[in-house]
Structure 1
Amino acid sequence: MAKSTTRFVCQSCGAVYGKWAGKCDACDTWNSLVEEAGDSGPAASPATARLTRGNRKLLDLVPLEGETAEAPRMVTGIAEFDRVCGGGLVAGSALLVGGDPGIGKSTILLQAMAALGKTGKRALYISGEEAIAQVRMRAKRLGLEKSPVELAAATSLADIVATLEQAPAADAVVIDSIQTMWSDALESAPGTVAQVRACAQALVRVAKARGTAVILVGHVTKEGQIAGPRVVEHMVDTVLYFEGERGHQFRILRAVKNRFGPTDEIGVFEMRDTGLSEVSNPSALFLGDRSGSAAGSVVFAGIEGTRPVLMEIQALVVRTTLGTPRRAVVGWDGGRLSMVLAVLEARCGASFGGYDVYLNVAGGLRVNEPAADLAVAAALLSSLDDTPIDPHTVVFGEISLSGAIRPVNQAENRAKEAAKLGFRAAIGPGGLKAFSGGLAVQEIETIGGLVNAVCHSKVPGEVR
């Protein structure tokens, strides 16, 4: 008979300890160890493991080459949502959606289930945080009260699994949220590492067996990561993050993992009184509020997934009264800003030591690609020299530590998107003229060329 033991599990990273400690050595989190029940006994002993050798069988090995049918898709009709999922929901797949509280996770998923239900699919929405009346109130506010979506309010894993295993099988189901689910097979409380891991594993297993697309909603930590063990992200097929700033109406649905489509794909939505509406041309939306030419304002031609997106990067460089100048960044990597500042000081002689530097990506979008280096440097130099850059010019390129400007991927798509939106010029790395797309191109080989283009033009903003 198995011997009952106890163990202490970190609720942040899932590390297991034999005794309690105030701090987790794996993730440096304080007061995160919680006691949980565990089993150890003859079933886990080496002697028992040797007894099972006779039951082993050889795997059916097949060649890598072969014909495999493409996974069928369930298109919801919400183009931005389908884009991020890789063309629609895949039957039997598991998705994990995370985001800050109130960002719109429940809203977009209720809209997706309503759209899927209108196509004749059986869509379920199971809420562990809200009562059925609350979900109905949201649906009425969104104008979806007549949508063929089945609702339930439950937190018991056994009840939910029994519901999903009945016939007819559901085509798609939303579990809102995985942190509220609990299994009576475990003694730990809902939301703990053991409960989240067990409930997610059971739901993924049902999804594969029944051909149901299961969408799990996950809470996030203060750092923006999905709460609970990272093993949940490995279990599921797709991980989506819902991003956005409370002060902006824009919301970004970003794929960071997708076994059935491209990663780093984004869908852009606009929050309105009637819910989230998709934005088919995000570049025009992000640049819609731009004023005339202003020092420190630069348009960056970026790539998000498979689509080019133009956005405004703003920089403000002001003299400081502090002993240590301040560096504030919104929407970009602060470490990368420090690198760009160091290159400008070492290779160009530009001094930022006595200045506070503020950098912002307008619209609430977050930029992760290194191609934004040149645009950030141009915005910093423009603000430092108080020289506006031509508002009809786009800038992109990667800066190396030597000061050289490196080429970036999909330069042709960036240039075409800029030309389509009415831009007339581009500043970028060498070889850009081959993909100009009709733009007047100024190629920059080193960071010194950018200084000449931004700070030493006879006419402010003139690109020659």
Structure 2
Amino acid sequence: MAKSKYVYTCNQCGYESSKWNGKCPSCGAWNSFEEELADTSPAGGGSSLANVPDLYDSIVELADIGADSDVRYDTGIGELNRVLGGGLVKGSLVLLGGEPGIGKSTLLLQICQFLGEEHSVLYVSGEESARQIKLRAKRLGVDTENLYLLIANDAEAIAATIAGSNIDIVIIDSIQTMSISRIGSSPGSLTQVRECTNLFMRTAKSQEIPVIIVGHINKDGAIAGPKVMEHIVDAVLYFEGERHQSYRLLRAVKNRFGSTNEIGVFEMLDKGLAEVANPSQMLLSGRPHNVSGTCVASIMEGSRPVLAEVQALAAKTSYSAPRRMATGFDFNRLNIIIAVLEKRLGIIMGSLDVYLNIVGGFRLDEPAADLSVAMALYSGIMDKQVNEELVAFGEIGLGGEVRSVPHASQRIREAERMGFKQAVIPKQCISSLDRDSTDIELIPVSNLKQAFSVIK
């Protein structure tokens, strides 16, 4: 029986199968198999070790490799530099993902204006015409003479052009439109995306130039294509935010040259993206007055303290099972906090629908936000207002205790800078703080009952 020329590959983990499966046996993803042409080259390539070239002369000592301070390019946008770890590293491959219309191409075209002052930039587009890019550049005020456009989809021809030209920085928009002619599948398929990414990775390393590639995301919010594409690149950045809201968050989920805890905050204006140097002020703007169910959390995003407003609403349910919804906060973590409130404090919420929202499209992933979430829930259920000048942070244990969190002094300084007068903090953190150096009133608590006593 002739072997089929098609195989089915999981677009999440790259697992290959000769037949279609509803669930991937490797990673467990559902409906992730895609049909593609099979590799017809003979196994092992028919070569032996005798024909393999010796790479002994390519071995170098670590001490002999130069590590100059001039290994990063300043993008001209401080928020992007922060997320990248200080700038764009030479020879790096950066993947920028986000929903359509979120501002990926706008951000990249804006950095071309600053980079073009001292470096030559090649902008490769497989989606737009040169006239369309010119119109957008005119609207954004991008008029540098060192920006060059290339409208093409052939990845091999693009790589050859980069290698044969004197280009310092390359932008590929987008990887889903690129293709390699010798591969039979269509652009955007699993094989094309993976092989094109590999090709641009080799080009970036061999030419010692940074390459930024744009990647679309699928309906699940992940970058379209195999997960192996994220393993190939040096940094993976996600552009987050609602299309109908003006604020955008840039977050690193992988970075070989910096921290993955940093975020960049931008505001979408009619003339492009503008940096938001004070995210706390942005997230707290428009706070309601004399309303229960709100509390301000002080969290750390990398080295930056940020204040965010937590809103909670509890209403009598009309269903047999109460609804639980969380926006910007981990749903399972919310259920744990609700269980602790019921078990340790006797606050029965079995007949209440609970809705939790983090204002401004922000997401709280740090355990330090637990205390402010619990205080917002208690405030909403008891209809008691939390002091508008109060901020809270601390992790909640299953015993109802409030546990310590790091960087307490930085969180308090940010709260004081924003005009807050009180801070509910874990009791264990008080020993590491200098009360004389701050004017804010510190309220140390060891359990939830003590924390809730502040709400009157």
Which band: TM-score by shorter chain? over 0.9
- In structure 2, C-alpha distance between the alignment counterparts of 1:66 and 1:417, rounded to whole Å: 41
- In structure 2, C-alpha distance between the alignment counterparts of 1:194 and 1:157, rounded to whole Å: 13
Deviation at 1:358, TM superposition (A): 0.7
| Conserved? CA contact 2:293–2:312, under 8 Å | yes
1:390 aligned to which of 384, 387, 391: 387
Deviation at 1:406, TM superposition (A): 1.2
Residue 155, structure 1, aligned to residue 153, structure 2: yes
Superposed, 1:119-138 pairs within 5 Å as: 119-138=117-136
SS of the residue aligned with 1:158?
A: helix
The superposition leaves residues 305-361 of structure 1 with CA deviations (integer Å, 9 ceiling, x where unpaired) of 111111111111111111111111111111111111111111111111111111111
Residue 321, structure 1, aligned to residue 322, structure 2: no
- In structure 1, C-alpha distance between the alignment counterparts of 2:400 and 2:64, rounded to whole Å: 46
- In structure 2, C-alpha distance between the alignment counterparts of 1:66 and 1:174, rounded to whole Å: 27
Deviation at 1:146, TM superposition (A): 5.1
SS of the residue aligned with 1:38?
A: coil
1:141 aligned to which of 139, 142, 147: 139
The amino acid that maps onto 1:364 is: G
Residue 304, structure 1, aligned to residue 301, structure 2: yes
Superposed, 1:387-426 pairs within 5 Å as: 387-426=384-423
| Conserved? CA contact 1:269–1:276, under 8 Å | yes
- In structure 1, C-alpha distance between the alignment counterparts of 2:88 and 2:32, rounded to whole Å: 39
The amino acid that maps onto 1:17 is: S
Sequence identity (%): 43
SS of the residue aligned with 2:114?
A: helix
| Conserved? CA contact 1:302–1:371, under 8 Å | yes
- In structure 1, C-alpha distance between the alignment counterparts of 2:330 and 2:317, rounded to whole Å: 22
1:7 aligned partner: 7
1:224 aligned to which of 209, 218, 221: 221
- In structure 2, C-alpha distance between the alignment counterparts of 1:62 and 1:89, rounded to whole Å: 25
- In structure 2, C-alpha distance between the alignment counterparts of 1:397 and 1:147, rounded to whole Å: 52
Deviation at 1:40, TM superposition (A): 4.3
The superposition leaves residues 191-239 of structure 1 with CA deviations (integer Å, 9 ceiling, x where unpaired) of 1111111100110111111121100111112221111111111111111
1:79 aligned partner: 78
Residue 195, structure 1, aligned to residue 192, structure 2: yes
Superposed, 1:227-376 pairs within 5 Å as: 227-376=224-373
Deviation at 1:188, TM superposition (A): 1.3
Deviation at 1:70, TM superposition (A): 4.5
Deviation at 1:63, TM superposition (A): 7.2
| Conserved? CA contact 2:262–2:303, under 8 Å | yes
The amino acid that maps onto 2:348 is: S
- In structure 2, C-alpha distance between the alignment counterparts of 1:233 and 1:16, rounded to whole Å: 18
The amino acid that maps onto 2:330 is: D
- In structure 2, C-alpha distance between the alignment counterparts of 1:63 and 1:217, rounded to whole Å: 33
Residue 428, structure 1, aligned to residue 425, structure 2: yes
Deviation at 1:30, TM superposition (A): 2.2
TM-aligned CA distance change 1:241 to 1:411, over 3 Å? same
- In structure 2, C-alpha distance between the alignment counterparts of 1:260 and 1:76, rounded to whole Å: 15
Superposed, 1:106-117 pairs within 5 Å as: 106-117=105-116
TM-aligned CA distance change 1:248 to 1:140, over 3 Å? same
- TM-score, structure 2 as length reference: 0.92
| Conserved? CA contact 2:246–2:268, under 8 Å | yes
| Conserved? CA contact 1:317–1:383, under 8 Å | yes
- In structure 1, C-alpha distance between the alignment counterparts of 2:270 and 2:153, rounded to whole Å: 30
Between stretches 240-249 and 87-96, larger displacement belongs to 240-249
TM-aligned CA distance change 1:386 to 1:182, over 3 Å? same
The superposition leaves residues 110-156 of structure 1 with CA deviations (integer Å, 9 ceiling, x where unpaired) of 11122211x21111211111111111111122122456421121111
TM-aligned CA distance change 1:50 to 1:304, over 3 Å? same
TM-aligned CA distance change 1:350 to 1:61, over 3 Å? farther
- TM-score, structure 1 as length reference: 0.91
TM-aligned CA distance change 1:62 to 1:306, over 3 Å? same
Residue 438, structure 1, aligned to residue 439, structure 2: yes
- In structure 1, C-alpha distance between the alignment counterparts of 2:409 and 2:75, rounded to whole Å: 31
TM-aligned CA distance change 1:105 to 1:19, over 3 Å? same
- In structure 1, C-alpha distance between the alignment counterparts of 2:342 and 2:50, rounded to whole Å: 68
The amino acid that maps onto 2:299 is: G
Between stretches 368-377 and 49-58, larger displacement belongs to 49-58
Deviation at 1:50, TM superposition (A): 5.9
| Conserved? CA contact 1:12–1:227, under 8 Å | no
- In structure 1, C-alpha distance between the alignment counterparts of 2:53 and 2:15, rounded to whole Å: 34
TM-aligned CA distance change 1:17 to 1:443, over 3 Å? same
Give ranges in structure 1 of 5+ residues lacking alignment.
458-464
Between stretches 358-367 and 424-433, larger displacement belongs to 424-433
- In structure 1, C-alpha distance between the alignment counterparts of 2:342 and 2:140, rounded to whole Å: 52
The amino acid that maps onto 1:77 is: G
2:377 aligned to which of 380, 386, 401: 380
- In structure 1, C-alpha distance between the alignment counterparts of 2:191 and 2:307, rounded to whole Å: 43
Between stretches 327-336 and 6-15, larger displacement belongs to 6-15
SS of the residue aligned with 1:299?
A: strand
TM-aligned CA distance change 1:41 to 1:51, over 3 Å? farther
- In structure 2, C-alpha distance between the alignment counterparts of 1:77 and 1:317, rounded to whole Å: 45
The amino acid that maps onto 1:127 is: S
The superposition leaves residues 74-127 of structure 1 with CA deviations (integer Å, 9 ceiling, x where unpaired) of 11211111111111111111101111111111111111122211x211112111
Deviation at 1:373, TM superposition (A): 0.6
| Conserved? CA contact 2:403–2:428, under 8 Å | no
- In structure 2, C-alpha distance between the alignment counterparts of 1:185 and 1:382, rounded to whole Å: 63
2:165 aligned to which of 167, 170, 175: 167
The amino acid that maps onto 2:148 is: E
Deviation at 1:248, TM superposition (A): 2.1
| Conserved? CA contact 1:21–1:33, under 8 Å | no
Residue 93, structure 1, aligned to residue 92, structure 2: yes
